[in-house]
Chain A
Amino acid sequence: MIKGQGRAGYWLYLVPGAILLTVIIIVPLGWNVYLSFTKYRGIKPPEWNGLENWKELFHDAEFWASFQHSIVMVVAMVVLPTVFGLILASLLFDLVGRRFDGKIAGLLRAVYYLPQILPIAIAAIVVGWILRPEDGALNDLLDAVGLGGLQHNWLGSPDTALLSIGAVMVWIQIGYPVVVFMSALQRIDPQLYEAAELDGANWFQRFRAITLAGIRPEIFVVVLTCTVAALKVFGPVYALTRGGPGTSTTVPSYYSYTEFFTAQRVGYGATIATALTVVVLAVAIFFVRAQFRLVDEEAR
């Protein structure tokens, strides 16, 4: 800062970010919203057709079904990983970290995080091999341990396809909350635990009163980011089932993709994408406000 320039100079530092935000996020978003009111096949200029796409969307059973599948994804990518992540993180922090060695806890944490680093396309191909109905690893394993009766066409049956993808997503997601929660736990004063222990609180009571209360902000962040990710999930569905069998595993982003690139109904694809954006924004606003409310209550 040069003296005498006042505060205007600070704005200079925002310019690069603002330019990138405009070019990469705001302009395409605006264009996408505009396209949702047009008939556009990607080549000739878009033709304005008002609310046609939106009307179609509201009567499109496949679109609503794809949102129902998103709910399963939310359970698989948010609820279960967060719950298991909390338990795992506090076990690693409490038991493994204290009774054994920090190194083991660190190693385990890295192992849990590994699926997060794997490119989804590669992970999905490997999972596809594991779940293959004929000579897939899972079915062969079941057979080998005498549970041949449980063999199943995992990704090819409507009753298990979505659940199989869900199970894979739990495995992929679990590392993220574990890492975030473990670093959050470092913040908590160990004396609190000691005091509680002296007062005769058991592990679960300590977990509820100290751990949960202490890392609430991180829980919010994890739930919010995972929910957004779950609503946008695309890769695993594309790589594992292409929305099948039938349409039992379509999710909104995959549906948007097929309309966009396969049917070349770009206008309608943009409508689905816009609707998804609205839902994601609503979820994000809801979470952020809830968090602020809690912070306010605590401050009082």
Chain B
Amino acid sequence: MRQRRIVTGGALALAAALLVSACGGGSDSADSAEEINTSPTGDGQTLTVWTYEDETSAMGIAWKKAMEQFTEETGAQVDFQLKSFEQINASASQVLNSDSAPDILEYNKGNATSGLLSSQGLLTDLTPAVEAYGWADKLSESLQTTARYSEDGVMGSGNYYGIPNYGEYVQVYYNKDLFEKYGLEVPTTLDEFTAVLQKFKDEGITPLAESAQEYPLGQLLYQLALLDADRQWVTDYQTYTAPADFHDASWTRAANTLKEWVDKGFISKNSTGQKAQDAGDAFTAGTNPIFFSGSWWYGSFTTDAKFDWGTFLFPGAKLSPGSSGNLWVVPENSDAKDLAYKFIDITMSPEIQNLMGNSGGIPVAADESAITDEKSKELIKNFTTLTGQDGLAFYPDWPTPTFYGEINAALQELVNGTKSVDEVLTQLQTDYDKGVKEITG
């Protein structure tokens, strides 16, 4: 936690400087911080909230509690509507443009989602509320990246359009029983990691649980590319500050390594026919001892895996895929904005954040000593390590709206051998450039 404070301190100074410039950038005076009522009364009013987190998930549990508190504090009722992710994703732009928009909703972070909506003027600029409530000093810098969007809807600069209140990242899940059985230690470098993979292969076990039909393999490719990349490389790739080159050393090495791992049998060719859930199931069944994937699996592994398992950050990585969680956004059409801000503030309060942490989530502003669950501690510790070294590198598919499907398609070709490493990188370059052109014009 101390490390995080230092980072947030620096971030705060930077944010404050940017806020001054942002506010000086022609936002009308009605939006200034004094206008925000931080103790609104809501008697007789209703706040409509949309989310798409499972009610039994850490977020679902914490937010339910937050809604109860909100009603106690303000007197306003909460009309809570649980939507599906697909439902919100496919119709957000149409719904938020109408008068049936909710007062506040959970929405995906990134250029293709929150960025796009903010650039189209559908979301409220939260900057004054951020100032009034002081949320910025609860969020480390890489968490703030996904909260702010430029006029073109590119993350990392400009006004605040969303507030995250949990985090997520990608790490290695490993089967402790099988590691023990073959006398293996947790690897700390890529070479050691490769040696572990080789050892399992020699024992006739395919070490990595993988899916190329969905996101896992793309995240592994990105992680391998991040091994010898730096923050600037990530910024360029994610926010187009310099042209991304898929034939640079990072991507080339990553794709070659992946290809090598397929050829050596560390990754099954069958992964092209498997969904993320299949890979997760293969890990919990004990078929494959290693699974590199997101913190969102944590809860289900806790209940499903019948063996002892643990987690570690990818060996030798300073940067790993990860980001803030989804955002609270307030539609421009919301007619209870002050109440919406109050609700966000409650979800950021230590009590709610601690509850989230103890329920298996990754809070952004919890009190570490209040987290009592052992497994949750490990999960949060890894996240703190990562944010402490400014290591959240976001996700490979974020730069363009279609890149998710395109990465999967390209990697299926790589695994199947229908395209060479070079052709795959060229394909990714073409898809990336086309998508970025669509955004930046």
Residues of A within 8 A of B (CB): 41-44, 128, 131-134, 153-158, 241-247, 258, 261-265
| Pairs A–B under 8 Å by Cβ, sample size 27 | A41-B93, A44-B120, A44-B121, A131-B273, A132-B274, A132-B278, A133-B270, A134-B268, A134-B282, A134-B287, A153-B270, A153-B272, A154-B273, A155-B213, A155-B273, A156-B213, A156-B271, A157-B273, A157-B416, A242-B408, A244-B412, A245-B412, A246-B409, A258-B402, A261-B89, A262-B405, A263-B402
What B residues does A263 contact at CB under 8 A? Answer: 400-402, 435, 438
What B residues does A128 contact at CB under 8 A? Answer: 275
**Given A262-B405, A263-B438, A264-B116, is A242 in contact with B272 using a C-beta cutoff of 8 Å?**
no
Considering only residues 108-136 of chain B, those with a C-beta below 8 Å from chain A are 112, 116-117, 120-122
For the complex, give the distance between the alpha carbons of A92 and B414 in Å: 48
For the complex, give the distance between the alpha carbons of A258 and B406 in Å: 11
* Residue in A closest to B279 when the chains form the complex, CB atoms: A134
Q: Is the CB of A241 within 8 A of B213?
A: yes
Q: Which of B121, B272, B274, B413 has the most CB atoms of chain A within a 10 A radius of its CB?
A: B272
Closest 6 CB pairs of A and B: A156-B273, A156-B272, A133-B270, A245-B412, A43-B120, A133-B273
Closest CB in chain A relative to B401 CB, distance in Å: 5
Q: Is the CB of B409 within 8 A of A245?
A: yes
Residue B377 at the chain A interface, CB threshold 8 Å: no
For the complex, give the distance between the alpha carbons of A265 and B419 in Å: 28
Q: Is the CB of B274 within 8 A of A245?
A: no
What B residues does A153 contact at CB under 8 A? Answer: 269-270, 272-273
Considering only residues 136-173 of chain B, those with a C-beta below 8 Å from chain A are none
What B residues does A241 contact at CB under 8 A? Answer: 213
Residue B239 at the chain A interface, CB threshold 8 Å: no
Q: Mark B72-113, 1 if CB is under 8 A from A, else 0.
A: 000000000000000001100110010000000000000010
Q: Is the CB of A245 within 8 A of B93?
A: no
Closest CB in chain A relative to B200 CB, distance in Å: 16
Q: Which of A242, A244, A264 has the most CB atoms of chain B within a 10 A radius of its CB?
A: A244
Q: Which of B274, B400, B419 has the most CB atoms of chain A within a 10 A radius of its CB?
A: B274
For the complex, give the distance between the alpha carbons of A263 and B120 in Å: 15
For the complex, give the distance between the alpha carbons of A242 and B405 in Å: 8
Residue B212 at the chain A interface, CB threshold 8 Å: yes
Closest CB in chain A relative to B367 CB, distance in Å: 40
Other-chain residue from A132, A134, A158, A265 in contact with B438 (beta carbon distance below 8 A): A265
For the complex, give the distance between the alpha carbons of A41 and B116 in Å: 9
**Given A134-B287, A263-B438, is A246 in contact with B412 using a C-beta cutoff of 8 Å?**
yes
Q: A243-B409, A244-B409 known; 8 other A-B pairs, CB under 8 Å?
A: A41-B116, A134-B274, A153-B269, A156-B212, A156-B213, A156-B274, A246-B416, A263-B435
